[in-house]
């Protein structure tokens, strides 16, 4: 018994070593479904979180036609400059919330209640990615949550789409944010509308990973409003082990799992989703030439020249401020975060 307690203490210390300042005393607040771990200065936030956490769990589970499952640890840390959070199932399921002010200009700036919406988002991950068949549940019960297959087989646009759409159920959040929707509508205007595969990770240029959230959130909202929440919940039941043998969209081997629920193919639904996002008013576009899209991820100087990495096209450039001349030096295989000139 003492050995088990010691191993548990070591595991907790290792898991929280990068979340709290050294030698920080921690407290635990228990609710019906959660163990909220926090430092003293986060006491009021922890109390507030505890006041709605269990109800949020029941609500999300009800929407996805399941029931609250195992208890979850929730780590609430103030040692961050930005509000954020994550859910992970390895090596065991848990939620981490970074308690900090939300930047109004960030993608989270549309939240009405920062802590509630952030927790709701991560808890939706915990519920949706834990929907399994009885056989899968038995495997996870024996070997641990990393053996659950839904996190590996569910497309990223659905993994983040369900969370963004649920965070927006109160009328705030990214799936109802005009600024987020403008990204999709601008893609339509410019003829850059992303395919479902691109929105699920195949597109690696700007805004790359944001596509899971923006396209995914709006698409999940579209499915929920067009076909109802019961059908959407059934879709999540199809992301288990069976999805390894039958694709989501229609293919050479017949109808996909999406069709069996919605009686329309994923590609057709995606096209209809695009139509629903299309502007109905005329759009007038300026014709003067603009610079190609760029995003500087690293910058350095030597002599009279500047050197920078452009994430948008993956190249490293040299720039002479005096002449305004710019030339590409080479294409980098990965994102460049530092340049030594």
Whether 242 contacts 77, CB under 8 Å: no
pLDDT in tens, 9-65: 444 444 445 788 777 899 999 999 999 999 999 999 999 999 999 999 999 999 999
Q: Which residue has the tokens 């603009």?
A: 290
Both 324 and 209 in one domain: the answer is no
Both 214 and 264 in one domain: the answer is yes
Does the structure show a pLDDT above 50 at 4?
A: no
Q: Which residue has the tokens 């059934």?
A: 234
Does the structure show a pLDDT above 50 at 274?
A: yes
Q: Which domain holds residue 273?
A: 24-277
The answer to whether position 17 is within a domain reads: no
Return d(Cα 234, Cα 224) in angstroms, integer. 11
How many domains in the chain?
2
Q: What integer pLDDT is reported at residue 109 of this predicted model? A: 83
Q: What are phi and psi of 78, to 5 degrees?
A: -90, 0
Please report how the helices 266-277 and 210-227 are oriented relative to each other, as an axis angle in degrees rounded to 10: 100
Return d(Cα 331, Cα 131) in angstroms, integer. 43
pLDDT band at residue 5 under the 50/70/90 scheme: very low
Which residues, 6+ apart, have CB-to-CB distance to 219 below 8 Å? 157, 161, 199, 270, 273
Both 212 and 84 in one domain: the answer is yes
The answer to whether position 1 is within a domain reads: no
140: CATH: 1.10.390
Both 187 and 242 in one domain: the answer is yes
């Amino acid at each position: 018994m003492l050995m088990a307690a010691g191993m548990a203490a070591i595991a907790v210390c290792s898991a929280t070593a990068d979340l709290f300042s050294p030698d920080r005393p921690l407290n635990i607040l228990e609710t019906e479904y959660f163990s909220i771990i926090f430092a003293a200065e986060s006491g009021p936030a922890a109390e507030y979180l505890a006041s709605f956490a269990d109800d949020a769990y029941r609500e999300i589970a009800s929407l996805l036609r399941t029931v609250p499952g195992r208890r979850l640890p929730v780590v609430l840390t103030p040692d961050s400059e930005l509000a954020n959070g994550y859910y992970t199932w390895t090596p065991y399921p848990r939620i981490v919330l970074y308690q900090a002010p939300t930047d109004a200009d960030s993608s989270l700036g549309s939240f009405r209640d920062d802590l509630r919406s952030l927790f709701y988002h991560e808890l939706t991950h915990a519920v949706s990615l834990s929907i399994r068949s009885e056989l899968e549940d038995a495997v996870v019960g024996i070997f641990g949550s990393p053996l659950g297959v839904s996190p590996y087989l569910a497309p990223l646009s659905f993994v983040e789409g369900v969370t963004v759409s649920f965070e927006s159920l109160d009328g705030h959040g990214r799936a109802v944010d005009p600024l987020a929707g403008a990204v999709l509508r601008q893609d339509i205007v410019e003829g850059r509308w992303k395919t479902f595969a691109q929105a699920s990770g195949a597109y690696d240029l700007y805004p790359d990973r944001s596509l899971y959230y923006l396209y995914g959130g709006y698409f999940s909202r579209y499915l929920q409003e067009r076909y109802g929440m019961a059908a959407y919940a059934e879709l999540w039941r199809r992301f288990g082990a069976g999805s390894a043998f039958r694709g989501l969209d229609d293919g050479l081997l017949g109808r996909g799992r999406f069709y069996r629920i919605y009686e329309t193919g994923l590609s057709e639904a995606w096209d209809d989703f695009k139509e629903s996002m299309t502007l109905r008013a005329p759009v007038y576009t300026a014709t003067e030439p603009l610079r190609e899209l760029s995003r500087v991820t690293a910058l350095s100087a030597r002599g009279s020249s500047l050197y920078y990495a452009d994430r948008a096209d993956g190249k490293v450039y040299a720039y002479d401020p005096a002449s305004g001349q710019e030339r590409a030096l080479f294409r980098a295989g990965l994102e460049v975060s530092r340049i030594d000139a």
